[in-house]
Every structure is written in structure tokens, then in C-alpha cells.
Structure 1
């Protein structure tokens, strides 16, 4: 059964459940859901079910395991069971993005358990293993996969299940994908730890352009600097400074691609104190200068026009 969840509040909550309990209708073998944004489950969360996630609208930061990246409309991912994840869009107080996400969640063990009767399902095993690190799909695969997920919202029962099998077959066979999280990422998946991480990640996303210091954020988390540093690295896969740099460079890329703001101004707007450090960090991350990135972005935009 398809249904939509809404959260009509002024801001993303600072404290929220970290473990998401998935409830599938008795008549369905998987859950298909259309989500508005934000709502209470849009947090750094994990669950044993696999999740295929389509971002239909807006842009923002994607967090999958220790991966930090950016998403835009049409961003299609699968996240394996137990892998923490979140897709964050900056919204104004009271703003609601209707139908931002299509979420499909399924129990991989049900597929494996059905392989005795339907042996073709065994072909999915390598795909299920890859998905434990999270995967993002590109090109024609992303377009076709997005279309299949949209069509699922128009049908029910066996027709929807057939589309599900078509989708997982498409994603299992393609080579148009990128693995996201590192193979050695092993967070502490207890409710208390994930709650602290969720609140910290929310705070960093809201304030990354400011002059943030590790001791100040550690104090907000109620930990000593050294304890928080180890805790953050363990549970996000990134050091505090690396995480902050990735957020700042993500915002810089958006400003370079979407605006005519001078590069020197962008440097300060995203939280860097001098242009040399900004240029150095950008070159290390993107293998090109900010000016080259802006030029390439505009060339791609012109080609699509």
C-alpha cells in the first residue's frame, strides 16, 4: 500500500529515533513510499532492510556510511541493511518539499529465502553484497530506475511486484554505478551514539560556514575533545576537519555552478578564512581549480540547453 508521510514543522528536530522500524503491509513483500521533506525519519538512521531511494526534487548533501556527497533531482541509490544514511536539504523554517523522495524498502532475507523455489533470485547475491556499501547509479540506469520507481506508485499487487523485480534486475546487472561507503566502515550502532551523531551532523550542516572549532562542538556533544574526535571518526568514518571541509566544498560547488558570485567571496561565504587555503582544498578534492570547475559547469549547462 502506498502512502505519504508529512512533517509540517519549522525545523528538523534535534533529537529523533535513530533506528527506523519498517512496517510492510501483510499484502506486500516490500514497502513503497512517497515522502515529503522534512519529516521525523529524515535523520541519520539505519535499519536491517535494504533501501532504494530516489530524490525527485531539490538538492543537498548525501550521507551514506562514511561517504559525503551531493545530490540533485534524479539521484538514485541503494543502501544495504545496517548502513547509516541521510539525505539533507537546506530548507527555510516552515518550508515543506512535497514528494521529495520515493523510498522502497525490502527484506533481503525474504529474497534469499525464496531462492529455493525461485532459483533465479540467486543471481542477486553479488548485488546484495555490493549494496552493503551503498551504491549510486548513473546514466541510463538512473533514468530507467527512476521511471520504474515512479510507475510503482500507479499500480498495486502483482503489477507492482513485477516492477520491483524489473528494478532490482536492472540495478544488479548495470555497470553504471559507484560504491559509496568504505569497506571498513563500522559505526557503533546503538541508539545513544547515533542520537549524538545525528544532533552533531545537524549542527554542522546548519553552521559549517561559521568558524567552527573542534573543542566547541565537542562541548556541545558533552565530551572531551579527544573523546569526541575518536567518537566522530568511528561513527562517521571522517575526521571532524574532513567532514567540515566536505560540507564547505559542497556548498562552494553549488555557488560556483549556480551563481556569478566572485570566487573570493565564495571562499569566505563557505567558511574559509583565506583564498589560498580554499584553492588548495578545492584542488585536492576536485582535481581542478574553482575557476575551472565553474567553466566546466557552464559548458555542461550549455550542452544540455
Structure 2
């Protein structure tokens, strides 16, 4: 039976820990885990271990360092040690997404320490350096990587370790990837700061379609407006307004691709007060109009079918 973490669907506590302590079995050199969503470690968190993360089902917002993007089934990433990250899906009260994630976590120093006996492991060093910014994989690499992650849950011991090395080789040698976080992103990684960031990000994700005001969110964080603005920029890599805009445009993209809701209605549903501002923000972000985005999404869906 695969190792699965379950949690009830109660709201994540406001004091959820930001540092994830990872324990690997004495008989294993890395951790493989199947996670339901949500559970208590689904927060803006960091750890010294590297994490290879596969989203098996659902969609949502991915936060890696100062990167904000969207994910769907098959989204495969690696996040280097010390880089804060989170994958957020909007769920209804009481909803549980079983087996949403496969998580693989490993200590890079174990690999480096073993390179004296296994010199081939030194070839991974450039890959480990790239991963410190977070990487997302696409194309055949994402498909093959996802298949390996799935098969690893069916085996143990040397068979699983062989697949682990095969996965590392696949991800280290491909050119089908994009870097996520900016090279100069350097958040404050103390527990108090990360807790404030987590609470702020959770609040913004839950209320981005409303008339959000910086002073209101600053007050929730217990800070002055100017202090919170600097703090938020430092620890997320985005200004408050840019972060809210990215969340609104992410939701707009989902509605454009998945529904027939009129574009004017989508504009107001995601939090914009007028269609001109919405069209201008969408064009700036996606280099096309909302109507063009919807048309392209339909064309891609037809091609897949």
C-alpha cells in the first residue's frame, strides 16, 4: 500500500507551521508520499530538502518563490532547498481530493556525499543549482517523469531507488523546462515572517474577487500599510497589487477556458470594476485579448479531442 497522508477538510489553522520537518525511513535514501488535499502541510512552506512534486489531478495556483502560475493535472516541478512553495486548489467545505499529489523529497547532501564512491553523481550538480530557483517540466519529459513517479509507488527498495536515479537523470538532462523564481528572490525564512505570509496569501486567495484594500490586509497582519507593503514585496517577490492581479487573471483564464460565461460577467466575477481595466490587464499579462484567449483555448481542446 502506498504511504498516503490524509487530513480532514477543516480550515488550515492560522498558526500552521511554515517549516516542514521531513523524516525519511532508515531503510530509504528519499521520501515518496501520496498526499490528499487539503492537509496541514499544504501551506506556504520551505525545507532544506529538494522536492519533486507531481499534481495528479485538479487545478489551481502554484506559488514557488516569487512565481505565481497555474497548474493542472500532470504539472511536474522540482523545488530546491529553502525555496518557499505551495500548490493551492479552491475546495468546497468538506471537500477532499484524494491522491492529488505525489511528493518526492531528498537531501542533496546525500547525493553529494556519495559522489566520492559514485562519481557519476557529480553530473547532477548543475541540475541541483538550477533547481534552487524551481523548475517546471513540460512535453515528453513531464509525461515520462509523471509515469516514473506513479510507478515508484508500486515498488520498494532497490527497484524504487533505481527509478529515483532514472528520474533524476531524466530531469537533469532535459531541455523541456522553465525556471520559476527570480534569481534575486530572498525571503525572510523565520517562522513568524512565514506565518504572516501564509495567512496573508490564504486571505488573498479566498478574497481576491472582492474589493481588496492594502490597509485592510495590513491590519490583518498587524502592520502599518507601508511596513506590510515592504514586507509583502520582500517575502513574495510581488507587490500587493501585482499579486492580486495575477490571482484575478488566473481565475479569468479558467473561466474563459472552461465556461461560456460572457467576458463582461467574468470581468466583474474576478474583481475588476470595469471592462476596460480588465482587458488592459489581460492583454498586458497574456499578450492577447480575453476573447482571443477563449478562442485559442477552444482550438486546443478540439485538437486534443
Tell me the TM-score normalized by structure 2.
Answer: 0.99
Deviation at 1:3, TM superposition (A): 1.3
Deviation at 1:9, TM superposition (A): 2.5
The CA distance in 2 between the partners of 1:24 and 1:193, in whole Å, is 27
The answer to whether the 8 Å contact 1:67/1:181 transfers is yes
Deviation at 1:97, TM superposition (A): 0.3
The answer to whether the 8 Å contact 1:14/1:202 transfers is no
Structure 1, residues 163-199: CA drift from partner, whole Å, max 9, x if none? 0000000000000000000000000000000000000
The CA distance in 2 between the partners of 1:161 and 1:109, in whole Å, is 16
The CA distance in 2 between the partners of 1:100 and 1:6, in whole Å, is 11
The CA distance in 2 between the partners of 1:8 and 1:194, in whole Å, is 23
The answer to whether the 8 Å contact 1:17/1:195 transfers is yes
The answer to whether the 8 Å contact 2:50/2:78 transfers is yes
Structure 1, residues 84-122: CA drift from partner, whole Å, max 9, x if none? 000000000111000000000000000001000000000
The answer to whether the 8 Å contact 2:30/2:107 transfers is yes
The answer to whether the 8 Å contact 1:11/1:94 transfers is no
Structure 1, residues 192-235: CA drift from partner, whole Å, max 9, x if none? 00000000000000000000000010001000000000000000
SS at match of 2:296: helix
Tell me the TM-score normalized by structure 1.
Answer: 0.99
SS at match of 2:209: coil
Deviation at 1:127, TM superposition (A): 0.2
Q: Which residue of 1 aligns with 2:219?
A: 219
The CA distance in 1 between the partners of 2:257 and 2:12, in whole Å, is 27
SS at match of 2:23: coil
Structure 1, residues 110-158: CA drift from partner, whole Å, max 9, x if none? 0001000000000000000000000000000000000000000000000
The CA distance in 2 between the partners of 1:208 and 1:81, in whole Å, is 29
Deviation at 1:2, TM superposition (A): 4.5
The CA distance in 1 between the partners of 2:99 and 2:54, in whole Å, is 10
The answer to whether the 8 Å contact 1:66/1:238 transfers is yes
The CA distance in 1 between the partners of 2:15 and 2:196, in whole Å, is 8
Runs (4+) off by over 6 Å: none
Deviation at 1:12, TM superposition (A): 2.9
Structure 1 residue runs without a partner (length 5+): none
Residues 1-305 of structure 1: pairs in structure 2 closer than 5 A: 2-305=2-305
Deviation at 1:10, TM superposition (A): 2.8
SS at match of 2:76: strand
Deviation at 1:11, TM superposition (A): 2.3
The answer to whether the 8 Å contact 1:35/1:100 transfers is yes
The CA distance in 1 between the partners of 2:292 and 2:14, in whole Å, is 38
RMSD: 0.8
The CA distance in 2 between the partners of 1:175 and 1:198, in whole Å, is 33
The answer to whether the 8 Å contact 1:233/1:239 transfers is yes
Deviation at 1:15, TM superposition (A): 2.5
The answer to whether the 8 Å contact 2:2/2:154 transfers is no
The CA distance in 2 between the partners of 1:14 and 1:277, in whole Å, is 34
The answer to whether the 8 Å contact 2:272/2:278 transfers is yes
The answer to whether the 8 Å contact 1:51/1:106 transfers is yes
The CA distance in 1 between the partners of 2:14 and 2:52, in whole Å, is 26
SS at match of 1:63: strand
The CA distance in 2 between the partners of 1:255 and 1:303, in whole Å, is 20
